[in-house]
Amino acid sequence: MISKNIKPLFIIPLVLGTMIISSSNSWLLTWLGLEINFIGFLPMICNEMSVSSSENSIKYFLIQSLGSMMFLMSISASLFFSFNMFSSSMNVMLLTAILIKMGAAPFHFWVPQITQFMKWNQISIFLTWQKIGPSIIASYLKLNEMMIFLIITNLIGAISGFNQNSLKKILAYSSISNSAWIIILIMMNLNMWLVFFTSYSFMLLSIILPMSKIKSPINFMVSALPTKMKIIILINTFSLGGMPPLLGFMPKMMAIMTLWENNLSPIFLTSLIISTAISMFFYIRLTNLSLINPLSMKAKKPLILGPPPMLNIFLITSVAGNMFIPLMTMFLM
């Protein structure tokens, strides 16, 4: 078990690894950045001496190690073999490594399982910051090679959330679906990617931070929460799904317009729209479970809420945040 006083120090390798990836002009330095980032995050999920925490850490270590090994093998082979007969297989290996690292389909099964046993502050890093490095590397690959995987990732992330009652797993599957948006946008338009990723991160944090203030053993029963907390979480889940006129609607609409202007495949655009509609279904189901379901579980420990001003900021930004998106876009352009 790692001391809580030491854990904030691991933010340094997280940031350093991502900076190396974003500024590197060498595949070897890119791999090094991934490993520094991985080493920084692994101690953060070793939070307590328990079986579930140990299993979670081992799963994450093995999966990320597999992705790192395949990434290193692909770039090593590219240094020794320059023949065309090897280029296709090396690209496939590199693509597989990136998909494993990012938790995209068809290598997404580990993401909900690991997310389920993480603490909320760990989830906030895992589903946001840890996507930056792999998505930057994915932008170096050819779009045609990734298209089918992005479509599968987008649809699987949306469909798999249907039968979930755990808020953590719902956020994990939502993250898988949004991975397709993140990758395609960073490949097509960096400024639009920045707008989308910033909005996505804020919406996710506006759900996670209030939940992290609740000292309760219940993983998911929004119906047991106070009314104000319940409203904030539900509005932000709808916003994460892209429901108008909330914050999540404008970035997705602008992203679709940007992709259309870049002559992206209509099939892919259709899959993005369909997945958004599907996602809204399980967010509505979440509302049904929390508001209509009469069997609300009672917390065994008192609910400790965050400071009211912070909760109000989350609520106001989620409802009125769309007006800031065009301003952000104008500033970046």
Q: Where are the domains of the chain?
A: 1-102, 127-332
Task: Answer whether 138's CB lies under 8 Å from 22's CB.
Answer: no
How far is it, in rounded angstroms, from Cα 248 to Cα 120?
21
Most confident of the following: 48-52, 84-88, 212-216: 48-52
- Report residue 130's pLDDT band, with 50, 70 and 90 as the boundaries: very high
142-146, 152-156, 172-176, 220-224: the lowest-pLDDT one? 220-224
| pLDDT tens-digit readout, 95-117 | 899 999 999 988 999 999 999 88
Placement of tokens 């800031």 in the chain: 324
- Report residue 240's pLDDT band, with 50, 70 and 90 as the boundaries: confident
How far is it, in rounded angstroms, from Cα 305 to Cα 295?
23
- Sign of the CA dihedral with 106 first, then 107, 109, and 112 last: negative
Does the structure show a pLDDT above 60 at 305?
A: no
Q: What secondary structure, in 3-state letters, does the chain show?
A: CCCCCCHHHHHHHHHHHHHHHHHCCCHHHHHHHHHHHHHHHHHHHCCCCCHHHHHHHHHHHHHHHHHHHHHHHHHHHHHHCCCHHHHHHHHHHHHHHHHHHHCCCCCCCHHHHHHHCCCHHHHHHHCCHHHHHHHHHHCCCCHHHHHHHHHHHHHHHHHCCCCCCCHHHHHHHHHHHHHHHHHHHHHHCHHHHHHHHHHHHHHHHHHHHHHHCCCCCCCCCHHHCCHHHHHHHHHHHHHHHCCCCCCCHHHHHHHHHHHHHCCCCHHHHHHHHHHHHHHHHHHHHHHHHHHHCCCCCCCCCCCCCCCHHHHHHHHHHHHHHHHHHHHHHHHHC
Does the structure show a pLDDT above 70 at 277?
A: yes
Percent of the chain with pLDDT over 70: 74
How far is it, in rounded angstroms, from Cα 78 to Cα 136?
20
Does the structure show a pLDDT above 60 at 322?
A: no
The pLDDT, as a whole number, for residue 5 is 56
* Residues whose CB falls within 8 Å of the CB of residue 167, separated by 6 or more in sequence, listed in order: 207, 211, 219, 220, 222, 286
How far is it, in rounded angstroms, from Cα 271 to Cα 153?
10
- Report residue 284's pLDDT band, with 50, 70 and 90 as the boundaries: confident
The pLDDT, as a whole number, for residue 313 is 65
Model-level pTM?
0.86
Average pLDDT over residues 182-205: 90
- Report residue 325's pLDDT band, with 50, 70 and 90 as the boundaries: low
